[in-house]
Amino acid sequence: MNKYAIGLFSSGGIADVGFIKNNITFLALNELLKDRAALLELNYPESKVFAEDVWTSYPKIINYAKEKLGGNKLFLLFATPPCQGMSQNGAGTLLKNIREGKRPKLDPRNRLIIPALKVAKELKPEWVIFENVPKMENTLIEDDSGNLVNIIDMIRIELGKDYEGHPYIVEFADYGLPQRRKRLITVFTRNKIAKKIFKEGTPLIPLPTHDKNGENNLKFWKTLRESLKDFESLDAKNKETAQSKTDPLHRVPLLDEKKYFWVENTPENESAFDNQCINSDCKSQDNPKHGAKRNGDGINQSKKNTPLFCLKCGSLLPRPYTEKDGKKRLMSGFISAYKRMSWDLPSSTLTRNFIYACSDNKLHPEENRVLSFSEALKLQSISNYSYEWGPLVIKGKKIKVASTTLIRDVIGESAPPMFFDLLYKHIEKISKGLTKNNQTNNLLAYC
């Protein structure tokens, strides 16, 4: 029997691939940005893609789904609303300010959860899953009556008593992803068996399979050494060495002469801001390192007195600098910039800036470059699934392959399909009463 789903705020549909692997059919997908929508049309030819604002598309999606379902039940609503407006502040602080008459300015993007809930209330899927940043838990939004409410509380209220669920903060490295990446996975169900098992203490997400230190009989985190060992060596010094001859996506942007100088002198798991003297007659290792501290206003600021020239011999240190009127000064930045990753850990979180050397902790552990697109696809588990980057049609124009910018952005803004593959297998088991777990309390404490 076919199981049907609807996806909202789908970007390029990367996370959804984990469900597709388990024979879930997405009837409809919604994405505002035309280039992402083009990727959806390419990779989900059986789905109706609504390339428009969800506020205008959600009634159309409801009507279309009802027509296509023809009396069948919707299995899943999967929504990944934008996270840019999620509050860094705790809900308690915001509510305290409101009581004191200091009404906060709320980001309207956070209200995009509302049309998603309208779809859920109308179509009554068996499972509702939201994926977002952990700070979603503490975000307040304004409901249709003008009241401020926590997003998770709104989900509970709008879905009603038919549903049971919980938000879980998930570290994907704990599930075998070779990347540190935390997200909030909020799962609600109206499946009677799953609800009963959940009330008895079984979580609605699978238990972790990996641990940083391999504790509790879990596997060790997957490392970059293990994950990148089969990739061809690259070097960002020139075009010939920055591109694989066999894999068009195994390529990296070039580094200019200055940046290459900083990077090539940076050790594994260190930042170029901490590089020491390379003068063969000196090689002092005692130059103060860079760092940050909080100022009087509590703002974390990088040091202003980190030396750019060796204190012992006066030579220029291979540290990031800017130059004006012939004068060099240390570049403003934190020690996480121009920093190499560690071979024996997962990668840092891949953002849309993962191809920039100045982004947080994005340099290859050993080679003089950032990660390639192919390596990023591996670290996001995308390469384990079927996904195409072209040809696609964007705004009526046929494109041979997605642009570098589009590939970069979609990789960086997506959640790994591997986890949602595991999540589906878990909810399928508890829907049939096939699994119960006595480690629930540990998981809830972890989350």
* Span 344-375, pLDDT tens digits: 999 999 999 999 999 999 999 999 999 999 99
Q: 77: which 2 tokens? A: 């609503």
Beta bridge partner(s), residue 130: 79, 186
| Diameter of the chain measured on Cα atoms | 81
What are the residues whose beta carbons fall under 8 Å from the beta carbon of 352, sequence distance 6 or more?
Answer: 408, 409, 411, 412, 413
Q: Give me the pLDDT at residue 299, please.
A: 58
Q: Any idea how long the chain is?
A: 447
Query: What local confidence, expressed as pLDDT, does residue 268 receive?
Result: 98
| Secondary structure (3-state) at 61 | helix
Supply 305's token pair.
Answer: 């007195």
Tell me if residue 177 falls in helix, strand or coil.
Answer: coil
Written as one string, the DSSP assignment of 350-396 is --TTTT-TTSTT-B-SSSSSB--HHHHHHHTTGGGS-----SEEETT
SS3 of 259-292:
HHHHHHCCCCCCEHHHCCCCCCCCCCCCCCCCCE
For position 297, what pLDDT does the model report?
57
Q: Per the structure block, which two tokens stand in for 216?
A: 């509790």
The pLDDT of residue 177: 98
Whether omega for the bond prior to residue 391 falls within 30 degrees of 0, making it cis, is yes
Report pLDDT for 104: 55
Instruction: Identify the residue whose tokens are 């060992």.
Output: 229
Asked if residues 96 and 57 have their Cβ atoms less than 8 Å apart, the reply is: no
- Pair of tokens at residue 403: 């642009």
- pLDDT of res. 302: 78
Closest CA to 333 of 385, 273, 408, 288: 273
Q: Residue ranges of the alpha helices (H) in 70-159? A: 91-99, 113-123, 151-159
CA distances from 166 to 143, 182, 399, 430 (A): 20, 16, 42, 15
| Backbone conformation region of residue 283, classed left if phi is above 0, alpha if psi is from -120 to 50, else beta | left
The whole-number pLDDT of residue 103 equals 52
For the chain, which ranges sit under pLDDT 50? 87-91, 438-447
Which residue in this structure is represented by tokens 């009634």? 59
Burial of 439 (0-12, 13-18, 19+ CB in 10 A): middle
- pLDDT of the residue at 89: 45
Whole-number pLDDT of residue 97: 56
Q: Please, what are the domains in the chain?
A: 3-218+415-446 (3.40.50.150), 236-371 (no CATH)
